[in-house]
C-alpha cells in the first residue's frame, strides 16, 4: 500500500523516537517498552528485551524530554535535563545561551518553576538572568555583530539556508515535540509552527541578497547614493503562544540585515528558543549571533534599557508593549510591537456556510490546537504543497483570532447550529497524540482567567451553547492538566466583557447584524485593530471560473463562443459579488485582513495591526525597513561652491 507524505513522516517519527526511548509504537496510540522490572530512568533507554508493558503518557513524555533537551545537535544526552519519574520534575537549568553555548548559572536558588500544561507537573526550573548575565549576552551579540555585519548578503544567506535545512531535515520533529510538551498545543499545530519558522528563515535568506540602495544623478556630474545598513544588537521578546515560531520570525529579518540578536522567551515557555540558537550555531553563524536569556519582567527591563541595544521587537499584551515603548523612548530606540487583538469576523448571508464555519472555527480555536477532525467533521483545508512540506503559507497567529463573529441575522440559526455541532466534536486530550486537535491551555492561571470570562459572560446575559467547562481526559496522568472545552457564546451584545476584552482562549462570541453599515460601525468600535475577516459569496464565483477554465479542453472549436460567453457571465457575476468584500475590507480598521478565509499568514506578506494592536510589521519585504537604517552619501565631482 502506498503511503502519503504525512503517513510516511509519522511512521518515520515513531521509529526514531521509539529508538530514542527503547520502545516501539503499537499502532493504537500507545508506546510499548520491553522490561522485566518497574520502570526507571536507565531502563527507559535500555535494550533489554524480556517483556512488554504499556508506558503512560507521563513516562513516555519524560523519556522523550531526556532525548530532546540536549545541549547540542549531536544527540547526546543532556544529563542536567534528566527528568525524575518519581517526582515528575525535570532539573534543567541550562536554558540560557550566549557566546555559542548553553550557559549554566551558578545561583539556582532564584530559579522559577516551569509547568507542563498537559499534566500540571513541574517540567523544569528556569534560571532568570540578572544584570551581569544580560551584559554578557549583549556583549556576545556585539562581538558577533562586528563580524556578521561585514559579510556580503550572499554569505549571510548561506548560513540562514543551512539553518533552515537543519530544521527541516534534522530537527523538525524534535522541536515540535518540545513545543507540545512546553506549550500544550497539539502536535499537528506544533509541526506547522516549526515549518513557519523554517519558511521565514528561508524567505529572509533570499532577502539578504537583495539589500541595496539608490543612485541619484545630480547636476554637474555629481551624484548621490544610499546605503541600507544594519542597526546593531537587536532584542526580541517573545510570547508563550508560539515560542519557536516567534523566535524565528524576529531573528530571521534581523540577521538577514546584518544585525545580531538577544532573545528573551516567555518565562512560561522557555525551552524551544535555545534549540533555535543551537541550530544557528551549527549552521555556521558566528558565536553570539543569536543569544537566549531567560527571565521575568526584570530581565526584560534590563534588555530594553541596555545602552548597547539598538532595536526592540516585542510580541505580547498591549500594556507590556506600552511599557516597552516607554523604555525605548529614553534611548530613542526603534520598536516593533505586535500586540493584542479583538478581531471581527463578518459573515454575510450569501456566504458559503461550510467555508464560513471552517473559518470561524479556525479563527477561534486554533490557539488550543488545529480544528481538524475526521469523518464528516471539520477538516483543515491544507493545500497539497503543505502536505509535501513545501507550502508557502500556513494557518497561524492567535492574537489575531476573530473572536467577535458577526453573522447576518438570516443566516445565524443555520450557522450557529453547525458551529456548535462541530465544536462539540473537537478532540481534546494528550497533545502528543496524532488524533488530538486541542490540548490544554498554557497554565493554570490562564485557564482560571478564561473560565472567569465564560462565567462573567453568563452573568451578563450571554447563552453558553456548548463548552466553557473544565475537561478531564480519560488518561489519569492528565487529570491535573489545564484543559477546558471550547466554548460558543450566543446572545452577545457589544457592551459585554467577552466582546470587548481579549480573552486569549477557546471562546467564540457570536453576534448578529442586519446591514453592512451597521456591522462596519460595530466591528470598528474597538481600540484594537490587529485583524479582520469577511465571508461573502465571491469565492463561489471564482471557483466556478476556475472549473470552467479547467474544462476548456472539453470544448470544441465550434463551441468556443459558448464557452467564452459562460466565462464572461460568471466573471461579471463574480465581480459584482466581490465588490462588497473589497468595499467592507477597505473600511475595516485592521492591519491584517482576510476575504473568505482566516488566519492565513504567508511569510511573504506583512503581518501587523492598526491602533493599539502594534507598530511596525513582521514578515514580508517591508520588515527589512524595520531592521535596517538608511545612509545617504553625496559625492561632489567638481569644485565646492562657497559663499565665503
Same domain? 295 vs 372:
no
Quote the CA–CA distance of 295 and 268 in Å, as a whole number.
10
Model pLDDT, residue 402: 85
**Cross-sheet strand order for the sheet of 31-34:** 23-25, 31-34, 52-54
541 within a domain of the structure (yes/no): yes
Same domain? 331 vs 359:
no
134 grid coordinates: 544580560
pLDDT range class, residue 537, cuts 50, 70, 90: confident
Q: Ranked by mean pLDDT, which of 370-384, 390-404, 488-502 comes out on top?
A: 488-502
Same domain? 402 vs 278:
no
Quote the CA–CA distance of 504 and 452 in Å, as a whole number.
12
Higher pLDDT, 110 or 390: 110
Model pLDDT, residue 560: 59
Model pLDDT, residue 546: 55
Would residue 426 be called left, alpha or beta, if left means φ above 0 and alpha means ψ between -120 and 50 degrees?
Answer: beta
pLDDT range class, residue 201, cuts 50, 70, 90: very high
Model pLDDT, residue 568: 61
pLDDT range class, residue 175, cuts 50, 70, 90: very high
Same domain? 579 vs 486:
yes
Q: Of 577, 552, 582, nearest to 567 (Cα)? A: 552
Q: Of 77, 272, 92, nearest to 167 (Cα)? A: 272
pLDDT tops 90 at residue 528: yes
Same domain? 241 vs 290:
yes
Enzyme catalytic residues? 338
* CATH code (residue 437): 3.40.309.10
Beta carbons within 10 angstroms of residue 14's beta carbon:
18
Is the separation of the CB atoms in 272 and 179 below 8 Å?
yes
In the three-class reduction of DSSP (H, G, I as helix; E, B as strand; rest coil), residue 511 is classed as strand
Which residues are CB-neighbours of 376 under 8 A, at least 6 positions away? Answer: none
Which residues are CB-neighbours of 153 under 8 A, at least 6 positions away? Answer: 208, 209, 210, 211, 256
Same domain? 177 vs 215:
yes
pLDDT range class, residue 212, cuts 50, 70, 90: very high
Model pLDDT, residue 280: 98
In the three-class reduction of DSSP (H, G, I as helix; E, B as strand; rest coil), residue 590 is classed as coil
With the CA atoms of 68, 73, 76 and 78 taken in that order, what torsion angle do they form, in degrees rounded to the nearest 10?
Answer: -60
Which residues are CB-neighbours of 311 under 8 A, at least 6 positions away? Answer: 231, 232, 233, 234, 235, 254, 259, 333, 334, 335, 336, 626, 627
Beta carbons within 10 angstroms of residue 442's beta carbon:
26
Same domain? 184 vs 297:
yes
Give me the mean pLDDT over the 300-321 stretch: 97
Model pLDDT, residue 389: 32
128 grid coordinates: 532568570
Q: Name the percent of the chain lying above pLDDT 90.
A: 70
Model pLDDT, residue 407: 98
Model pLDDT, residue 485: 97
582 within a domain of the structure (yes/no): yes
Which residues are CB-neighbours of 170 under 8 A, at least 6 positions away? Answer: 73
The strand pairing partners of 470, in sequence order, are 484
* CATH code (residue 289): 3.40.605.10
313 within a domain of the structure (yes/no): yes
Quote the CA–CA distance of 375 and 329 in Å, as a whole number.
54
In the three-class reduction of DSSP (H, G, I as helix; E, B as strand; rest coil), residue 273 is classed as helix
Q: Name the percent of the chain lying above pLDDT 70.
A: 74
Give me the mean pLDDT over the 608-635 stretch: 97
Q: What is the pTM of this model?
A: 0.80
Q: Of 643, 408, 604, 594, nearest to 512 (Cα)? A: 408
pLDDT 10s digits, 116-149:
999 999 999 999 999 999 999 999 999 999 999 9
pLDDT 10s digits, 12-66:
444 443 333 333 333 333 333 333 333 333 333 333 333 333 334 444 444 444 3
Is the separation of the CB atoms in 351 and 537 below 8 Å?
yes
Which residues are CB-neighbours of 209 under 8 A, at least 6 positions away? Answer: 153, 154, 157
Whole-number average pLDDT of the chain: 82
Higher pLDDT, 376 or 610: 610
In the three-class reduction of DSSP (H, G, I as helix; E, B as strand; rest coil), residue 106 is classed as coil
Higher pLDDT, 559 or 405: 405
pLDDT 10s digits, 441-489:
999 999 999 999 999 999 999 999 999 999 999 999 999 999 999 999 9
* Sign of the torsion angle spanned by Cα atoms 274, 237, 591, 615: negative
Model pLDDT, residue 575: 55
Which residues are CB-neighbours of 491 under 8 A, at least 6 positions away? Answer: 461, 462, 463
> Residue 65: how many CA atoms within 13 Å on its side-chain side?
29
Give me the mean pLDDT over the 615-634 stretch: 97
Give me the long-range contacts of 320-329 (CB less than 8 A, separation at least 24).
321/614, 324/237, 324/300, 325/615, 327/301, 328/304
113 within a domain of the structure (yes/no): no
Is the separation of the CB atoms in 53 and 33 below 8 Å?
yes
pLDDT range class, residue 578, cuts 50, 70, 90: confident
Same domain? 327 vs 192:
yes
Model pLDDT, residue 55: 39
Per-residue DSSP letter, 128: -
27 grid coordinates: 499502532
Same domain? 358 vs 465:
yes
Quote the CA–CA distance of 176 and 189 in Å, as a whole number.
9
pLDDT range class, residue 170, cuts 50, 70, 90: very high
171 within a domain of the structure (yes/no): yes
In the three-class reduction of DSSP (H, G, I as helix; E, B as strand; rest coil), residue 91 is classed as coil
57 within a domain of the structure (yes/no): no
pLDDT range class, residue 350, cuts 50, 70, 90: very high
Q: How far is CA 174 from its chain centroid?
A: 17
Give me the mean pLDDT over the 613-619 stretch: 96
Quote the CA–CA distance of 530 and 502 in Å, as a whole number.
12
Same domain? 288 vs 203:
yes
pLDDT range class, residue 370, cuts 50, 70, 90: very low
Same domain? 601 vs 481:
yes
Q: Of 424, 411, 437, 301, nearest to 351 (Cα)? A: 411
Same domain? 537 vs 499:
yes
pLDDT 10s digits, 61-80:
444 443 334 333 333 323 23
Model pLDDT, residue 365: 85
Model pLDDT, residue 525: 97
The range of the structural domain enclosing residue 474 comes to 344-382+393-550+561-606
155 within a domain of the structure (yes/no): yes
Quote the CA–CA distance of 36 and 49 in Å, as a whole number.
8
Model pLDDT, residue 599: 86
pLDDT tops 50 at residue 323: yes
Model pLDDT, residue 4: 46
**Residue with grid cell 493554570, as numbered in its chain:** 444
Give the chain's domain count: 2
146 within a domain of the structure (yes/no): yes
Amino acid at each position: 500500500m502506498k503511503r502519503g507524505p504525512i503517513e510516511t513522516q509519522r511512521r518515520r517519527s515513531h521509529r526514531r523516537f521509539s529508538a530514542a526511548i527503547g520502545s516501539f509504537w503499537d499502532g493504537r496510540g500507545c508506546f510499548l517498552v520491553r522490561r522485566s522490572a518497574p520502570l526507571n530512568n536507565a531502563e527507559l533507554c535500555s535494550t533489554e528485551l524480556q517483556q512488554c508493558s504499556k508506558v503512560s503518557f507521563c513516562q513516555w513524555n519524560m523519556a522523550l524530554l531526556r532525548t530532546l533537551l540536549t545541549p547540542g545537535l549531536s544527540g547526546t544526552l543532556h544529563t542536567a535535563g534528566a527528568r525524575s519519574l518519581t517526582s515528575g520534575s525535570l532539573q534543567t537549568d541550562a536554558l540560557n545561551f550566549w557566546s555559542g553555548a548553553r550557559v549554566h548559572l551558578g545561583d539556582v536558588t532564584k530559579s522559577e518553576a516551569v509547568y507542563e500544561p498537559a499534566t500540571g507537573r513541574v517540567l523544569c526550573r528556569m534560571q532568570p538572568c540578572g544584570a551581569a548575565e544580560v551584559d554578557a549576552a549583549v556583549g556576545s551579540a556585539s562581538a558577533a555583530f562586528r563580524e556578521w555585519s561585514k559579510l556580503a548578503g550572499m554569505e549571510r544567506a548561506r548560513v540562514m539556508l543551512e539553518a533552515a535545512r537543519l530544521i527541516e531535515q534534522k530537527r523538525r520533529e524534535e522541536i515540535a515535540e518540545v513545543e507540545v510538551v512546553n506549550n500544550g498545543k497539539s502536535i499537528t499545530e506544533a509541526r506547522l509552527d516549526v515549518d513557519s519558522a523554517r519558511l521565514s528563515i528561508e524567505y529572509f535568506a533570499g532577502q539578504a541578497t537583495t539589500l541595496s540602495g539608490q543612485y541619484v544623478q545630480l547636476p554637474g556630474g555629481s551624484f548621490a547614493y544610499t546605503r541600507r545598513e544594519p542597526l546593531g544588537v537587536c532584542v526580541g521578546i517573545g510570547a508563550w503562544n508560539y515560542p519557536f515560531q516567534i523566535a524565528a520570525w524576529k531573528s530571521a529579518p534581523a540577521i538577514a540585515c546584518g544585525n545580531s540578536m538577544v532573545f528573551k522567551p516567555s518565562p512560561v515557555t522557555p525551552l524551544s528558543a535555545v534549540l533555535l540558537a543551537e541550530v544557528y550555531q551549527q549552521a555556521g553563524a558566528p558565536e553570539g549571533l543569536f543569544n537566549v536569556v531567560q527571565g521575568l519582567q526584570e530581565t526584560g527591563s534590563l534588555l530594553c534599557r541596555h545602552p548597547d541595544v539598538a532595536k526592540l521587537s516585542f510580541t505580547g499584551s498591549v500594556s507590556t508593549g506600552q511599557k516597552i515603548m516607554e523604555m525605548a523612548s529614553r534611548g530613542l530606540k526603534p520598536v516593533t510591537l505586535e500586540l493584542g487583538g479583538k478581531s471581527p469576523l463578518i459573515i454575510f448571508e450569501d456566504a458559503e456556510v461550510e467555508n464560513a464555519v471552517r473559518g470561524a472555527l479556525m479563527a477561534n480555536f486554533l490557539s488550543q490546537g488545529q480544528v481538524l477532525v475526521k469523518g464528516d467533521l471539520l477538516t483543515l483545508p491544507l493545500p497539497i504543497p503543505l502536505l509535501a512540506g513545501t507550502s508557502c503559507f500556513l494557518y497561524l497567529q492567535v492574537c489575531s483570532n476573530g473572536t467577535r463573529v458577526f453573522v447576518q441575522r438570516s443566516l445565524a440559526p443555520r450557522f450557529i447550529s453547525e458551529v456548535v455541532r462541530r465544536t462539540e466534536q473537537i478532540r481534546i486530550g494528550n497533545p502528543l497524540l496524532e488524533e488530538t486537535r486541542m490540548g490544554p491551555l498554557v497554565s493554570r492561571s490562564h485557564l482560571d482567567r478564561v473560565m472567569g470570562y465564560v462565567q462573567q459572560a453568563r452573568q451578563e446575559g450571554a447563552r453558553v451553547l456548548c463548552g466553557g467547562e473544565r475537561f478531564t481526559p480519560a488518561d489519569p496522568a492528565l487529570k491535573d492538566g489545564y484543559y477546558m472545552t471550547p466554548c460558543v457564546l450566543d446572545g452577545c451584545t457589544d457592551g459585554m466583557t467577552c466582546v470587548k476584552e481579549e480573552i486569549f482562549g477557546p471562546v467564540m462570541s457570536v453576534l448578529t447584524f442586519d446591514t453592512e453599515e451597521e456591522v462596519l460601525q460595530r466591528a470598528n468600535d474597538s481600540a484594537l485593530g490587529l485583524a479582520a475577516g469577511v465571508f461573502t459569496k465571491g469565492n463561489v464565483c471564482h471557483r466556478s471560473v476556475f472549473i470552467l477554465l479547467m474544462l476548456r479542453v472539453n470544448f470544441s472549436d465550434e463551441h468556443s463562443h459558448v464557452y467564452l460567453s459562460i466565462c464572461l457571465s460568471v466573471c461579471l457575476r463574480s465581480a459584482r459579488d466581490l465588490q462588497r468584500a473589497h468595499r467592507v475590507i477597505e473600511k475595516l480598521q485592521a492591519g491584517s485582513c482576510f476575504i473568505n478565509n482566516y488566519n492565513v499568514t504567508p511569510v511573504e506578506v506583512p503581518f501587523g495591526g492598526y491602533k493599539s494592536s502594534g507598530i511596525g510589521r513582521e514578515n514580508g519585504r517591508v520588515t527589512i525597513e524595520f531592521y535596517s537604517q538608511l545612509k545617504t552619501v553625496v559625492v561632489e565631482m567638481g569644485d565646492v561652491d562657497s559663499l565665503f
